[in-house]
Structure 1
């Protein structure tokens, strides 16, 4: 029963360049650093980022011993916005990769962008009502070009 009443706190993302990722999440999403933890044995730095309400959180993790994950498993961050097209234009204008252009999925409009390490960020607008989503609609899969060998 405790787990069913729990609340998701946020997510942790392993990043290759802490400063570059801080600039991305602060600049694009308006998150600010609220705490920094430096662990030893192994050396790992975690930076907690939040919005002004504390409702949106991302914890960036950086260490020489933590590899940045890649395929086959991918876990996009998901962000709800009021206007998908405006969000897409803002990201592109800031020089960040749009993984795939906005598409309609029933009552939703969705696109994906990539952070500096290639983590996908799914950005959607519209009412998330599962019963209204067309389960037979196919949309382009965004991952292959983002996670291709560099």
Structure 2
């Protein structure tokens, strides 16, 4: 019997679906304060903390998928209050709850992009090994 080795991950990525890629690109470029590192007609990929956060065309990649709630990427930030204020400024109607929620060692808040995909920012209130 032949043995195999697991693939060695080189980079973690996540993508969300969009019906209007240009609209989503404008939102995420403002959110991240950067243009996509990779852009095609059906894909916009951002370098976020060493990982690839992409927005892809639903029609091309997953035409039968329902927008929003397919995956919830959560992104660690150093200053949760500053991140909350930034999202509140650029997309106040996108916030899923009023204010930052603190749960044990985590503080977090959720918001939606223009296609209803949920994004979560979090920060640590106390050190956690590996995070």
The TM-score normalised by the length of structure 1 is 0.67
Distance 1:128-1:121 versus aligned 2 partners, 3 A rule: farther
The structure whose RCO (Cα within 8 Å, separation 6+) is larger is 2
- 2:36 aligned counterpart, secondary structure: strand
Are 2:64 and 1:61 aligned? Answer: no
Q: SS where residue 12 of structure 1 aligns?
A: strand
Measure, in 1, the Cα distance between the counterparts of 2:47 and 2:24: 14
| 1:16/1:68 contact within 8 Å kept | no
Residue pair 2:67, 2:115 contacting (<8 A) in 1 also: no
User: Aligned partners of 1:85, 1:67: CA distance in 2, in Å?
Assistant: 37
The answer for unaligned runs of 5 or more in structure 2 is none
C-alpha distance 67-88 of structure 1, shift in aligned 2 (>3 A): farther
Inter-CA distance 128–24: structure 2 relative to 1 (3 Å threshold) = farther
Can you give the 5+ residue segments of structure 1 that lack an aligned partner in the other structure? 39-44, 131-150
**Kindly tell me: are residues 61 and 70 of structure 1, through their superposed partners in 2, closer, same or farther at Cα, counting changes over 3 Å?**
closer
Scaled by the length of structure 2, what TM-score is found? 0.75
Query: 79, 82, 105: which is aligned to 2:78?
Result: 82
Q: Which residue of 2 aligns with 1:146?
A: none
1:38-49 aligned within 5 A: 38=41, 45-49=42-46
SS class of match (1:76): coil
Q: Whole-Å Cα distance in 2 between the matches of residues 63 and 120 of structure 1? A: 16
Deviations 1:101-141 (A, max 9, x none): 311111111111111111111111115638xxxxxxxxxxx
Structure 1 vs Structure 2 CA RMSD: 2.5
Of the candidates 107, 117, 120, which is equivalent to residue 115 of structure 2? Answer: 117
Contact (CA 8 Å) 1:14, 1:62: kept in 2 or not? Answer: yes
2:12 is aligned to 9
Which of 29, 51, 55 matches 1:26?
29
